[in-house]
Amino acid sequence: MPLVFDSPPISTSTAHALTVLFAFTYVGSLYISKNARLSFLNRKVSTDNGTPRPKYVNERWRDDPDVIRARLVAVCVATTLCCGLVFWILRSFVGPKPDGFELTLETTIARLGFTLYRWDMDSLYPHLVTPVLFLGPLYAMYLGENLPFQAKWSFQGDVVSKFLSWQGIRNYVMAPITEEIVFRACVIAVYYMSGASTKRIIFLGPLSFGLAHVHHAWDTFNRYGRTASAAKRALLMSLFQLAYTTLFGFHCSYLFLRTASIYPPISAHVFCNIMGLPDLMWELREHPHRRAAIIFMYVLGVVGFVYTLEPWTRFGGLYWRERPYAKMTY
């Protein structure tokens, strides 16, 4: 029998506190181990043309392989702890039932979206929503012959060197998986247990995801020389990253709530990390004879995204309800 609660088992303030705890656990794990912490030269260094300064001996930067390895271990442990906390919260409400552990485990797996994947077209559609939005950049890549198996694409350079490096494993594998589990699955699970509405979960939950990226400002400030200009750059980049990751979080929260699966948010995260930020102005300068076509494909991507977002994600029954707490079934 599934777990049934007649009223929210936790309060909204408790959900807020747990969300902060999840973010603190994830980000804090990067600084507990000496091997995972960054170290920089403790003095100002002038840089030219807004470029990062050279890396000096005995410094530890975030792209160093040993730092990446240590941080990957740290976030895996942090992610496990966050999932364990969700399990513990649910377990505390099950009580001393004979099948309490199995019931809680089954409930936790469902709440975190770790459902068995169905290999059919209906399950594929949610993974295609985000690529539709990127029709413009994908078309520009096609014009530049940079898509897979085109002239300027190579398996060694675009797959092996990119995805099998330590930076690639971090950016395209471990970061999307662990961040989506913590900042999407765990955060949404506790907000749902508090009785929060669907809209509130979509627009409130991702704030912790955006704030969790602010710590990169310290890295930017040091790599650009610890000057006033470096501080300004760090501030602007952090504000932009906060806005971008929060907006992206809205999208992934919607995907998770609609599908009740963690896999579409993870694939969206991986895809966006691979594509990076679109640069329309550069693409228009690079392909001046296709300006109208590029703009059209950008517009088509936005229209297609809006059109497909709802029908291509119509699969979740666990979270997507008009009244999330008439009686909640786990």
Element (H, E) at 329: strand 328-329
Q: What percent of the chain has pLDDT over 70?
A: 93
Rounded to an integer, the average pLDDT of 136-165 is 93
Structural domain tally of the chain? 1
> What are the pLDDT digits (tens) for 255-273?
999 999 999 999 999 999 9
| Listed residue (129, 156, 110) closest to 272, CA to CA | 129
Q: Does the structure show a pLDDT above 90 at 152? A: yes
Report the mean per-residue pLDDT for the chain. 89
> What are the pLDDT digits (tens) for 78-126?
999 999 999 999 988 877 777 788 888 988 998 999 987 776 777 899 9
* Alpha helices (H) along 135-279: 135-143, 155, 161-163, 166-169, 175-180, 187-193, 198-204, 206-211, 216-223, 228-259, 263-275
Element (H, E) at 24: helix 12-32
Strand partners, 60: 39
Q: What is the pLDDT of residue 330?
A: 42
Q: What is the pLDDT of residue 45?
A: 82
Q: What is the pLDDT of residue 4?
A: 62
Q: Which domain holds residue 290?
A: 4-329
Give the span between the Cα atoms of 135 and 144, in whole angstroms. 14
Q: What is the pLDDT of residue 121?
A: 74
> What are the pLDDT digits (tens) for 191-248?
999 988 888 899 888 888 888 888 889 999 999 888 888 899 999 999 998 898 999 9
Q: How far is CA 15 from the centre of its chain?
A: 20
> What are the pLDDT digits (tens) for 235-258?
999 999 889 899 999 999 999 999
DSSP code at position 313: G
- Virtual torsion, Cα 261, 109, 211, 303, nearest 10 deg: 10
Q: How far is CA 155 from the centre of its chain?
A: 26
> What are the pLDDT digits (tens) for 283-298?
999 999 999 999 999 9
